[in-house]
Chains A and B, each alone.
Chain A
C-alpha cells in the first residue's frame, strides 16, 4: 500500500550528499535550518494535547508547560522562525536564496500582525492567555468559534500565510521560481526546512483546534459518565481528529487555489486583513463593554 513511503522519503535525506557552498558562511548556513526546526518543535510545548492522565495516583498532565502566557510564547517562538529563513537565505550567498528569504520574511512578518490582532479579539473573549484555560472554558461552554467566527477566518488565512502554504507559498513557488530560501540546501538540512514547515502546519492546525474548536474537549464529554482516563484518551483522539481535519483543509486549499501574486499578497495582508482584524477587535471590545453595563 505504500504506507511507509513518506517515512522512506524522509529517511532517505540522511543518506544524501551534503553540500555547503564554498562561499557560504558555514556557521550560519548550519544555523539556519537548525533554528527553523528548533522553533517549529518548540511551539508544541504549550499546546495541551489532552487533559490529565492518572497512573494510579500520579497525575500526568498532557501539556508540557502550562505557562500563563502560552499564546504570547507561541507568537514569540513563531516570530523567531523568521530568523531561520532569513539566516539560511543570507548564509547561502546566493542572490536567489536571499531574495526568497526576504520575500518569505516580509510575508511572515506582515501576516503576523493581522494574526496577532485577530487573536487579541479572542483573548478579550477568553480573558486568559493560557491555552489550558482556554480549552477548559470551551469544555464547559460553547466553542470559541461561536464567539469569534470572523476572527477565526482571519486567523485561518494568516495561518496559511505563516506556514508558507498555498495559496501563499511565494517564498518557494516551486513551479515558477528556481527554489526558495533553501535553494542551496541539500540532505537533511533541506529536510529540516521542509519538516519545519510541516511541523508548523501541524502545530498551527493544533493551535486552531485548541483556540477555536475546543482543543481536546468534545461535546457531552462530562456527561458520559466515563472514567477520567478514558475521557482524557477520547479527548486526545478528539484533538487529533480536529488537527487532521485542519491539515486536510490545508491540503484541500492547496489542491484548489492558485498562488497569489506578490503585490496581491501584500495588499491582502496590509490593506484587507489588518483593517478587518482591527474592526473585529473593535466590535468585540464594544460588545464586551456593552454586555458589562
Chain B
C-alpha cells in the first residue's frame, strides 16, 4: 500500500549501495548514518522484530557512516539506529521478496548525556565453593617406573635416598596419601615400594601441610605431604599386580598388590616374598614408632626403649640390598572405612618373616698411647625374625570444629639372632633370643573454638617390653674374672621395660596479623626398668654371677612443664621466641641404692626467617637445651653389649646443657636455572656423656663419664646450575664437618679428639629428548681424626647411569658404580654393574623383563675406617651376580 512511500532517499547525504546477486529472497538493507556535522561511525543499526522487539540481525556503520545488513527475513520490522550520545531512531520497514534492497539513511539528533552510574546486583546463580583442586602440572611417567617410589622419583625437588626415604627439598614427607586418605603415615615406604604407579593420575606436593585438619592455617607448618590422585577408572574397582621373578641359584621374588580405592572404603593388600636382598617394608620402625618433630598432639612419640645388646649388620654407605642375604616374606592388610560422614576407621596390619644372613671379615688395629694390638674376626650373622603389627585409628568428627581421634597400636616381634665367628682363631658362637612387645594408646581431642583458635588435649599411654637372652660359648674375660678358671661360656639375661603416661594441653592462637601464639601445659611420667643378670658358666653350671655386672635399675622421671612459643610475622619477616619451663622429679634405684632429685630448668630459643625477595630466603635460630639423662645413661653396673664388650652408665642423675645455632640461606628456587642452598650448624654441649674405655685385646670395658665441652660445626652447600646449550644440569655439593670432644682410654687423662670431614660431590645429568640420557656423578670424602696421632683417609664413589628409551614398549637402564678406598693398599677399587630391561608385551597388562645385578660378580667388598683409637679394615660378602627373568601381570 503505502510501503513504498515510507522509503525516502535523502540527497544531502551520500548513498552507497553494494549490489550483489544473491538468491532472490535476500534483501539488503543499507544506508548512511550521520548527524548534523557529518557521518557517525560505529553507530548501531539493528533489525528488530515488530512484535517481540528482539533483535534479528544487526550491523555497525563504518568510518563513513555507511552500513549494510543482508537478511532473508520477510515481513514487518523495525530498523533501530542508535549511537552513544544520540537519540535512537526507529524506522518501520517492510521486507518482501520483491525488494532486493532497502536504503534507509538516517540522521541522528544529539542528546545531552549526563554521567550515569548504574549498580547491578550480582546474580545468586553461581555457587562459589572454595573446594579447590590441585592445579599442578600433571606429571607423567616415561613408562619405565613400576612402583610408586620410582614414579615419585620423577618429581623435581623430591629426593628418594637409597632406603626409600622421601624428602621434599630437605624435609622428609609426613605421609603419602592416596586420594586424600593416608594409610601409613611415616611408614609410607610400605606403599611407595609396593604400590604400582600406573593407576596414578597426579601427584600433589602439599606444603605447609597440617596433619590435623583443624590446625590448618593456624599452626605454623613447614611440613610436606604427598597426595597421589588416582585415575577415575582406577577407583571403586579391584585392581592390582602380580610380579614373579626367577633367577639362578634360588634367587626369586614374588610380589603382589591388590587394591580398591573407593570414596567410602579403601583397601590395600600386598605381599612380597624375595631372596634378592630387598627389604619390602622399608624401615618398619617408622610405622610402628613414627617420630614427628613439632607436631601438636605428639606427646610420647619420642619415648622408646634402646637396647644395649644387638646383633645386627653394619650400616654401610652402600646399597643395603647388596649385602643382605635374605629370605623374606611379608603380608600386609590395610583398610580405611568411612561408615558415616563423621566417622573414619583405619586398620593396618602386617606380618613379616625374614631370615637375613650377613658376612664380614675384619682386621681391627688399635693404636693408642697405652694399647697396641691387632684383632681379626670372621663373622657370620643370621637374624631370624617374626613381626606382627596391628594399628587401629578411629577418627570422629563430631562437628566442623570438634574432633576426637583415638589410636591403638600393638606390636609383637620375636627375634632369634645367632652368629658364628672366629675371633683371633678361636671359634665362637653367639645366640641372642629376644622379643619386643609394644602397646600404645593415644587419645586426642581437638576443638577449634574460634576461627583462629584451637585447643588440643592429648593423652598417651605406652608400654614396651624387651626381654633378651644372650649366650656365648666362649669365655674371653679371664683377665677380669681370674677366679673363674674353669669357665667356658657366659650368658646374660636382660629385660628392659618402659611405661609411659603423658597428658598435654595445647592452645594455638593465630592472630590477624599472621602472628601465632602457642601455649602448652603438660605432665609426662615415665618408668623404666633395666634388669641384667650376667652369669659365668662352666657348661651348664653357674660358677659366678660377679658383682658389678648385675643390674636392677628402676628409673622414674616425672616432668611437669609449661611451654610457650610466639611467632611474630611482619611482612616477609618472622621472629620466633620460645620458652620452656620444666620441673622434673627423678627417682633412681640401682641395685637397692636409691636416690631422688627435683631439677628445675628453663630452655629458651629465638630465631627468625626472612623472605628477602622471591630469590633470597634466610632463616636462623639459636636455642639452649637441657636434656635429662635416660635409663641407659644412669644404670650403675656393667652390661655385656657384645661378645667382647661391657658398658656401664654413670650411676647417677645428670642434666646435659647444650647451645645450638643454625643458619640457612637459599638463593633461587629449584625450578630456576641456578639454585643454591647453604646451611651452617654449630652446637656446643656444655656437658655430655663421653667414655672412659679400658681396651684390652680380648675385652673392652666402657664407662660413661660426664665431660664438659663438646663442639660440633657443619657447613654444607648445594648448588645447581642448568646449562641450556647441552640441556644438562650440574650439581655441586660441598660439606665440612668438625667435631671436637674429649675422652679417656685405659685410664689416661682426658685426651682431645678432633675429627674433620670434607665432602665434595659433583653430578651432571642430561635432559635429552631422544632415546639416550646419562647421569654421571662422583663424590670425594676425606675423614681425619686427630688425637695424639693423626689418621686420615679419602674415599671416592662414582657412578654412571645410562637410560635408553628405545620405544614406548621397550627400555633399558644401566647403572654402574665405582668405589675407591684411599687407605687400602690393594683391592682398593670396586666396580658394580646392574641393568634392567623391560618390554611391555601387552600395554598395561603384561610386561616382561630381565634384571641383572652385580654383573661383574664382585664377591667381596672391603672398606676402611678410622676411629679415635685406631683403624679397621673390613671385608663384606656380597650377593653374587644374578639374573632374573620377570613377568608382571596387571588386572
Chain B associates with chain A: no
Mark A residues whose CB is within 8 Å of B.
none
Mark B residues whose CB is within 8 Å of A.
none
